Structure 1
Amino acid sequence: MSGRETAATADGGPRRSAARRLARNDAAVGLAFVAPAVIGVIGLGLIPFGYVVWYAFHDWNPLLGEFTWIGFDNFDRLLGDDVVWGALLTTFTFTALLMVLNISLALLLAVLLNQRLRGITTFRALFFSPVIVSTVAWVLIWGYLVADNGGVNGALALVGIDGPNWLRDPNWALVTVVVIQVFKGVGMNMILFLAALQGVPGELKEASRLDGAGAWRTFRSVTLPLITPTILLVSIITMIAAMDVFVPIQVLTSGGPGRETTVISYLLYQTAFRQNDFGYAAAIGVLLFAVTLALTMVQWKWRRRWVHDEV
């Protein structure tokens, strides 16, 4: 072995040792940063959900002091409970309407607010402001506006239209809650779409225009495919939030009129805190989680068919 090779070998040991030490330090720093989030997910998510699953196999009534193992009886009861399946259908309807209106309006606003015009920043802040308003305060204000003698019907009366009692009419109650919730959350999705639109390379749009494509064709063939990853993200988070909606239903309609706005999360609340049937409510919670997870997985699986750069 030559002197040069001997020196390289001698230097290689300390260098490799320093590299391993540096890698361990980097890993320790990374773990320190993610540890709070991991602890939060485990302590506030996985462990409580494990308890929910455990409770679902029991007949639990705290007022009577009952906590009895009953196996799959609560889930068997779910299969034949028309109220649960009716609430699940209402939840699907609410979710579908909310997703269509919210995502469409958010994308439209993002396109409009992506223009370089004077004062456009003010309009962006205006449309985003409902996001930071308390949900309870937001729905209380809208409750007054859509009341039978509220501001919405007062404005309609000025043009000769006799508006319905929006929250008490079976034909309008669910749609009204959807619209109120759309206005509450559309600003967040608008910001996400706006960030995606500003990330589209300008040279691609310019090349499309040079090829003779109009504004709509450029948007449909260039811009829209490039923002499909953001559309997927917005679709998933909007769907999850809609499936778990509770506050607007509780404050505005209490599930009425009849059961027209009784979504599955509100039925869970009624079962647990009105009927004191916590075991059955836990089973409903497991059903809600399973359905939401299944819908999320479907969206994730189908992403390869329409999301740009997914293989």
Structure 2
Amino acid sequence: MLSVVLKTFGDLMSALVSQKKNLFSGETLSGWLFISPMMFGFLCFFIIPVIAIFGYSVTEWNILSQDSTFVGLQNYQEIFTENEEFWLVVRNSLVFAGGLVPLNIALALVLALALNQKFTGVVFFRTVYFAPVITAGAAWAIVWSFLLQKESGGVNQLLALIGIDGPNWLREPNWAMFAVIMTRVIKNVGLNMILYLAALQSISPDYVEASSLDGATPWQRFRHIIWPLLAPTTLVISIVTVVGSLKVFDHIYLMTGGGPESGTLVLAYYIYERAFEFFEIGYASALAVILFVLTLVLTVGQWLLKQKEQ
């Protein structure tokens, strides 16, 4: 939505500057009227809340007593120098993103390459792999929390058929993060698969045919032709997936509650915990600002890295 708003706004400004149109002329006014609902929603539900979060982050505000005191950067100082749990939360968030992002992208690409072929039932398989994307996140997490139980879970029952004693997936620190990552990957991989599939179908078959005539192997065709042409799509997918991995909340809340032993306590859930369980709105707002900055840095970093490669 942001990109659409900024593009439309930029086009209007270019028209005003280049053609010297009056700000309230008929054509320009029509443009403003068309984007006004989106601008209003963007202002009310993004810009104003973000500004408010920055303001709350420099206060000590207890939501129960409604007492608010300006404390400056005290919340940030406490987070970085006194709160040892914060660094555990950051580590968990980076582990979650570091596991989810490459798995999601790799699996989405493999599925897209497989389903880009013409065979009987290809539409059915595309639908099956995309179905989890439109499934409610809460329902998905609840179902998987039952499937991953120690004794009665469907996953361990299937493993028992081949003689494997499955772990207590969501109650053992060494397995809980892995279980949450995998269920999240399965949930969202279909969307990235569709994006890759659309990009693959936009590649001219002439490139592939020419490389085949030159004697290129399937791997060489993928490595030197298909993969470079997928670079813009990969950039979009990686940015969206990284942002989504850092703000994950529903899976953690419903499957593990940040446990066991804070093994899956990620930053988004930690913000919720400090705000609505400990009622420290100012402190939670400072954590939210840190999450915002971390997401922004990673997003810009990915963008600059791709630009450098090109």
Instruction: Tell me the TM-score normalized by structure 1.
Output: 0.90
Provide the C-alpha distance between the structure 2 equivalents of 1:291 and 1:60, rounded to a whole number of angstroms. Answer: 24
Provide the C-alpha distance between the structure 1 equivalents of 2:133 and 2:30, rounded to a whole number of angstroms. Answer: 34
Where does residue 56 of structure 1 map in the other structure? 57
Instruction: Tell me how far 1:38 sits from its aligned partner.
Output: 2.0
Within the candidate set 63, 85, 88, 2:87 is matched to 85
**CA separation of 1:72 and 1:228: change in aligned 2, threshold 3 A:** same
Instruction: Tell me how far 1:32 sits from its aligned partner.
Output: 3.2
User: Which secondary structure does the structure 1 equivalent of 2:168 belong to?
Assistant: coil
**CA separation of 1:26 and 1:212: change in aligned 2, threshold 3 A:** farther
In structure 1, give the amino acid aligned to 2:115. Answer: L
Q: Which moved more, 1:58-67 or 1:243-252?
A: 58-67
**1:74 paired to 2:102:** no
Instruction: Tell me how far 1:226 sits from its aligned partner.
Output: 0.5
Stretches of structure 2 that go unaligned for 5 or more consecutive residues are 1-19
CA contact under 8 A between 1:167 and 1:253: conserved in structure 2? Answer: yes
Instruction: Tell me how far 1:215 sits from its aligned partner.
Output: 1.2
Instruction: Tell me how far 1:42 sits from its aligned partner.
Output: 1.3
Provide the C-alpha distance between the structure 1 equivalents of 2:66 and 2:289, rounded to a whole number of angstroms. Answer: 23
**1:222 paired to 2:215:** no
Where does residue 117 of structure 1 map in the other structure? 119
Provide the C-alpha distance between the structure 1 equivalents of 2:166 and 2:208, rounded to a whole number of angstroms. Answer: 45
Where does residue 162 of structure 1 map in the other structure? 165
Provide the C-alpha distance between the structure 1 equivalents of 2:130 and 2:32, rounded to a whole number of angstroms. Answer: 34
CA contact under 8 A between 1:60 and 1:277: conserved in structure 2? Answer: yes
Where does residue 41 of structure 1 map in the other structure? 42
Task: Please give the residue correspondences for 1:259-278 in structure 2 after superposition, counting only pairs within 5 Å.
Answer: 259-278=262-281
Where does residue 9 of structure 1 map in the other structure? none
**1:283 paired to 2:286:** yes
Provide the C-alpha distance between the structure 2 equivalents of 1:306 and 1:33, rounded to a whole number of angstroms. Answer: 38
CA contact under 8 A between 1:99 and 1:235: conserved in structure 2? Answer: yes
Stretches of structure 1 that go unaligned for 5 or more consecutive residues are 1-18
User: Which secondary structure does the structure 1 equivalent of 2:53 belong to?
Assistant: helix
Instruction: Tell me how far 1:305 sits from its aligned partner.
Output: 2.7
In structure 1, give the amino acid aligned to 2:72. Answer: G
Instruction: Tell me how far 1:33 sits from its aligned partner.
Output: 3.2
In structure 2, give the amino acid aligned to 1:92. Answer: L
Provide the C-alpha distance between the structure 2 equivalents of 1:289 and 1:188, rounded to a whole number of angstroms. Answer: 24
Alpha-carbon displacement from aligned partner over 1:124-180 (angstroms, at most 9, x marks no partner): 011000000000000111111011020000000011000000001111100100000
Where does residue 185 of structure 1 map in the other structure? 188
Task: Please give the residue correspondences for 1:291-302 in structure 2 after superposition, counting only pairs within 5 Å.
Answer: 291-302=294-305
CA contact under 8 A between 1:105 and 1:186: conserved in structure 2? Answer: yes
User: Which secondary structure does the structure 2 equivalent of 1:171 belong to?
Assistant: helix
Provide the C-alpha distance between the structure 1 equivalents of 2:27 and 2:190, rounded to a whole number of angstroms. Answer: 38
Provide the C-alpha distance between the structure 1 equivalents of 2:209 and 2:248, rounded to a whole number of angstroms. Answer: 42
Instruction: Tell me how far 1:34 sits from its aligned partner.
Output: 2.7
In structure 2, give the amino acid aligned to 1:54. Answer: G
In structure 1, give the amino acid aligned to 2:49. Answer: P
Superposed CA RMSD: 1.7
Q: Which moved more, 1:24-33 or 1:178-187?
A: 24-33
Provide the C-alpha distance between the structure 1 equivalents of 2:293 and 2:170, rounded to a whole number of angstroms. Answer: 30
User: Which secondary structure does the structure 2 equivalent of 1:68 belong to?
Assistant: strand
CA contact under 8 A between 1:228 and 1:306: conserved in structure 2? Answer: no
Instruction: Tell me how far 1:117 sits from its aligned partner.
Output: 1.2
Provide the C-alpha distance between the structure 2 equivalents of 1:32 and 1:219, rounded to a whole number of angstroms. Answer: 46
Provide the C-alpha distance between the structure 2 equivalents of 1:197 and 1:251, rounded to a whole number of angstroms. Answer: 36
Alpha-carbon displacement from aligned partner over 1:229-257 (angstroms, at most 9, x marks no partner): 00000000000000000000000000000
Provide the C-alpha distance between the structure 2 equivalents of 1:29 and 1:116, rounded to a whole number of angstroms. Answer: 46
Provide the C-alpha distance between the structure 2 equivalents of 1:33 and 1:245, rounded to a whole number of angstroms. Answer: 33
Which 4+ stretches in 1 moved above 4 angstroms?
none
**CA separation of 1:200 and 1:162: change in aligned 2, threshold 3 A:** same
Count of aligned pairs: 289
**CA separation of 1:29 and 1:109: change in aligned 2, threshold 3 A:** farther
Provide the C-alpha distance between the structure 1 equivalents of 2:99 and 2:175, rounded to a whole number of angstroms. Answer: 13
Q: Which has the larger radius of gyration?
A: 1
**CA separation of 1:210 and 1:31: change in aligned 2, threshold 3 A:** farther
Instruction: Tell me how far 1:31 sits from its aligned partner.
Output: 3.1
Instruction: Tell me how far 1:29 sits from its aligned partner.
Output: 3.9
Alpha-carbon displacement from aligned partner over 1:61-100 (angstroms, at most 9, x marks no partner): 0212310111111011111111111101100010010001
